[in-house]
Amino acid sequence: MSLAWSPSSWQQRPAKQQVAYEDAGSLAKVIDEIGRLPPLVTSWEIEQLRGSIAAAARGDTFVLQGGDCAESFDDCRADPIAAKLKILMQMSLVLVHGTRKPVVRIGRIAGQYAKPRSADVETRGDVTLPAYRGDLINRDGFTLAERAPDPVLMLRAYERAALTLNFIRALTDGGFADLHHPEYWDISFAKGSPHADQYEKIVESIRESLDFVSAITGVENEVLRRVDVYTSHEALALPYEQAQTRTVPRRAGHYNLSTHFPWIGMRTAQLDGAHVEFHRGIRNPLGIKIGPAMTIDWLLGLLEVLDPEREPGRITLIHRMGADHVATALPPLLQAVQRTGHPVLWICDPMHGNTETTPSGIKTRRFDRISAELEASFELHAQLGSRLGGVHVELTGEDVTECIGGARGLHEGDLERAYKSRVDPRLNYEQALEMAMRIARHLRGR
Ligand code: PEP
Ligand code: CO
Confidence of residue 224 (pLDDT cuts 50, 70, 90): low
- Ligand 1 closest atom vs CA 267: 8
Mean pLDDT in residue range 88-114: 92
Return the residue whose CA atom lies nearest to atom 4 of ligand 1. 265
Quote the ligand 2 centre to 210 CA distance (angstroms): 37
What is the tens place of the pLDDT at every residue in 26-79?
A: 999 999 999 999 999 999 999 999 999 999 999 999 999 999 999 999 999 999
- Ligand 1 closest atom vs CA 266: 8
Greater pLDDT, 280 or 182: 280
When the pLDDT of each residue in the chain is averaged and rounded to a whole number, the result is 92
Give dist(CA 14, CA 333) in Å, integer. Answer: 26
Ligand 1 pocket test, candidate residues 261, 266, 326, 365, most atoms within 8 A of CB:
266
Least reliable range by pLDDT among 98-107, 189-198, 359-368, 369-378: 189-198
Tell me which residues have their CB within 5 A of the ion that is ligand 2: 69, 424
What interhelical angle do 296-306 and 326-340 show, nearest 10? 40
What is the tens place of the pLDDT at every residue in 293-306?
A: 999 999 999 999 99
Give dist(CA 158, CA 240) in Å, integer. Answer: 8
What is the tens place of the pLDDT at every residue in 131-157?
A: 999 999 999 999 999 999 999 999 999
- Ligand 1 closest atom vs CA 112: 3
Return the residue whose CA atom lies nearest to atom 1 of ligand 1. 69
* Closest by CA position to 402, among listed 436, 443, 432, 438: 432
What is the tens place of the pLDDT at every residue in 226-276?
A: 678 999 999 999 999 999 999 999 999 999 999 999 999 999 999 999 999
Residue 182 has pLDDT above 70, yes or no: no
Cβ–Cβ < 8 Å for 63, 104: yes
Mean pLDDT in residue range 385-405: 95
Quote the ligand 2 centre to 396 CA distance (angstroms): 12
Give dist(CA 221, CA 86) in Å, integer. Answer: 20
pLDDT value of residue 54: 98
What is the tens place of the pLDDT at every residue in 313-364?
A: 999 999 999 999 999 999 999 999 999 999 999 999 999 999 999 999 999 9
Residues with CB under 6 A from ligand 1: 69, 116, 234, 265-267, 289, 320, 352, 424
pLDDT value of residue 200: 79
Q: Which residues contact 142 (CB under 8 A, 6 or more apart)?
A: 122, 124, 127, 129
Residue 186 has pLDDT above 70, yes or no: no
User: Helices marked H in 174-260 — which ranges?
Assistant: 182-185, 196-217, 238-243
Give dist(CA 141, CA 62) in Å, integer. Answer: 39
Residue 203 has pLDDT above 90, yes or no: no
**Distant-in-sequence contacts of 310-313, Cβ < 8 A, 24+ apart:** 310/341, 310/342, 310/343, 311/50, 311/343, 312/54, 312/57, 312/58, 312/343, 313/49, 313/50, 313/51, 313/52, 313/53, 313/54, 313/55, 313/57, 313/285, 313/345
The phi and psi torsions of 363 (rounded to 5 degrees) equal: -75, 125
The phi and psi torsions of 107 (rounded to 5 degrees) equal: -85, 145
pLDDT value of residue 2: 64
**Ligand with smallest separation from the Cα of 267:** 1
Cβ–Cβ < 8 Å for 421, 70: yes
Residue ranges of domains in the chain: 9-177+226-445
- Ligand 1 closest atom vs CA 289: 9
- Ligand 1 closest atom vs CA 291: 9
Beta bridge partners of 287: 263, 316
pLDDT value of residue 56: 97
What is the tens place of the pLDDT at every residue in 412-430?
A: 999 999 999 888 999 998 8
pLDDT value of residue 208: 78
Amino acid at 45: E
pLDDT value of residue 402: 95
pLDDT value of residue 198: 78
Residue 223 has pLDDT above 60, yes or no: no
- Ligand 1 closest atom vs CA 70: 3
Please give the C-alpha separations between residue 332 and each of 299, 335, 337, in angstroms, as whole numbers. 11, 5, 9
**Ligand with smallest separation from the Cα of 350:** 1
Domain 9-177+226-445: give its CATH superfamily: Aldolase class I (3.20.20.70)
* Closest by CA position to 287, among listed 325, 237, 243, 231: 231
pLDDT value of residue 16: 97
Quote the ligand 1 centre to 308 CA distance (angstroms): 25
Amino acid at 332: P
What count of residues does the chain have?
446
- H/E element, 279: helix 274-280
| Residue 208 CB-half CA count within 13 A | 7
Cβ–Cβ < 8 Å for 97, 440: yes
* Closest by CA position to 289, among listed 300, 299, 280, 274: 299
Amino acid at 78: A
Quote the ligand 2 centre to 69 CA distance (angstroms): 4
Residue 221 has pLDDT above 70, yes or no: no
Ligand 1 pocket test, candidate residues 348, 424, 426, most atoms within 8 A of CB:
424
Confidence of residue 202 (pLDDT cuts 50, 70, 90): confident
What is the tens place of the pLDDT at every residue in 100-111?
A: 889 999 999 999
Outline where DSSP puts E strands in 225-291: 229-234, 245-247, 254-256, 261-264, 286-290
Residue 211 has pLDDT above 60, yes or no: yes
Give dist(CA 373, CA 351) in Å, integer. Answer: 9
